[in-house]
Amino acid sequence: MGMTSRERVIRTLRFEGVDRPARDVWTLPAAFIGREKALQALLDQYPSDFGPSGYVDPADESALYEPGEFTDAWGSRWVTIQRGMIGEVKYPVLDDWRKLEHWRPPYHLLGKGFEQVNRTCAASDKFIILGTPRPFERLQFVRGPENAYMDLAWGVPEVFKLLEMIHDFYLRHAEYIVKTDVDALSFMDDWGSKHALLISPAMWVEYFKPLYKDYVDLAHSHGKFAFMHSDGYIMDIYPHLIEIGVDAINSQLFTMPIEEIGQRFKGQITFWGELDRQYVLPFGTPEEVHAAVARVKAALWDDRGGVIGQAEFNQGYPLENIRAFFEAWWGEPQFQ
């Protein structure tokens, strides 16, 4: 008998050796437009080692992928202009600090949507993660991106009160998650531009590192792994993520010196993808996809684990590039 998906991912995270690299693929709704059957057939050939949680988000935000305006559960209004691609906050609920006194996070949503989670976990041999605490992004959604950056730069007292309120909400939400049978708590924030952090590393360490440490500590205290996602150049915070105990980081490796990452951090944290989606996947050739996967393997992979083969597919990515991603990592199609 081979490993189950859950066993494969756990052994990857613990550097205990695996039969093949674990596999995780994200597909944005726009990726399917005009080729639903062809893309789904390819995904079916290489089934993921990660499974759905059964959680039903009471703050259903599927409308964010449809053209038009949408008011989220926190009170901010989004505008979407292209089907299948998430919109942007154009009318933040706290555009004026005077509104903070009477505003609260959507506490009425806490604890809802978990009815099927344990049953889903029991019926699956996949590795299951759950959770989207995103304090920095939610700060931007609630306050407006331009305002949020200025608030942090000036050290406006209200921004720290707001951040504390957001973090309190996410901690309460995470407490429900870690009491279920999922394997990992995940959280996220996009922290990097193409070449640097979006705020100074010192500011990140002072204001945001403690928040993530709370999520990691909560996960570990309940026997769960801690997964984090961040887009952009984030090499400056890898040592801090390792220090607070993040088990797996999903980051845009190709915005950073991958070989240096391997030299400094290999074996200390699992690299949960990803493959370059700025050039290689959308615009490169299948040969370039194979070369990119080979580069990740050479820098970060060994037979103990430490790497999850992961990519995100968006609108217009050539099917031959998506196929090349799978074949570069796993060879001929797997049916398991």
Within a domain: 307: yes
Distance, CA of 27 to CA of 141 (rounded, Å) = 23
Within a domain: 77: no
For residue 99, CA distances in Å to 65, 77, 95, 230 come to 28, 15, 8, 30
Count: domains in the chain: 1
Whether the pLDDT of residue 31 is over 70: the answer is yes
The predicted structure's pLDDT at residue 336: 44
The predicted structure's pLDDT at residue 333: 73
Mean predicted confidence (pLDDT) in 215-232: 98
Distance, CA of 154 to CA of 148 (rounded, Å) = 10
Whether the pLDDT of residue 304 is over 90: the answer is no
Q: pLDDT over 90 for what percent of the chain?
A: 90
The predicted structure's pLDDT at residue 278: 93
Distance, CA of 226 to CA of 102 (rounded, Å) = 34
Distance, CA of 269 to CA of 306 (rounded, Å) = 7
pLDDT in tens, 106-155: 999 999 999 999 999 999 999 999 999 999 999 999 999 999 999 999 99
Number of H helices, E strands in the chain: 13, 10
**Confidence tier at 93 by pLDDT (50, 70, 90):** very high
Distance, CA of 232 to CA of 172 (rounded, Å) = 28
Within a domain: 184: yes
Q: What φ, ψ does residue 242 adopt, rounded to 5°? A: -65, -45
Element (H or E) spanning 307, and its range? strand 307-313
Whether the pLDDT of residue 301 is over 60: the answer is yes
pLDDT in tens, 10-25: 999 999 999 999 999 9
Q: What is the CATH number of the domain that holds 172?
A: 3.20.20.210
Domain span at residue 209 reads 5-59+116-330
Alpha-carbon torsion, ordered 194, 196, 198, 204, to 10 deg: 140
Residues 50, 105 contacting (CB under 8 angstroms): no
The predicted structure's pLDDT at residue 1: 55
Considering the chain, what is the average pLDDT of its residues? 95
For residue 273, CA distances in Å to 131, 145, 225 come to 18, 27, 17
SS3 130: strand
Q: pLDDT over 70 for what percent of the chain?
A: 99
Within a domain: 70: no
Within a domain: 132: yes
The predicted structure's pLDDT at residue 334: 57
Q: Which two tokens stand for residue 20?
A: 């093949």
Question: Secondary structure of 64-123 in the HEC alphabet?
Answer: HHCCEEEECCCCCEEEECCCCCCCEEEECCCCCHHHHHHCCCCHHHCCCCCCCHHHHHHC
Distance, CA of 138 to CA of 74 (rounded, Å) = 9
Whether the pLDDT of residue 76 is over 60: the answer is yes
**Confidence tier at 305 by pLDDT (50, 70, 90):** confident
| β-pair type (68-71, 77-80) | antiparallel
Report the predicted TM-score, pTM, of the whole model to 2 decimal places.
0.94
Within a domain: 92: no
Within a domain: 281: yes
The predicted structure's pLDDT at residue 275: 95
Within a domain: 123: yes
SS3 320: helix
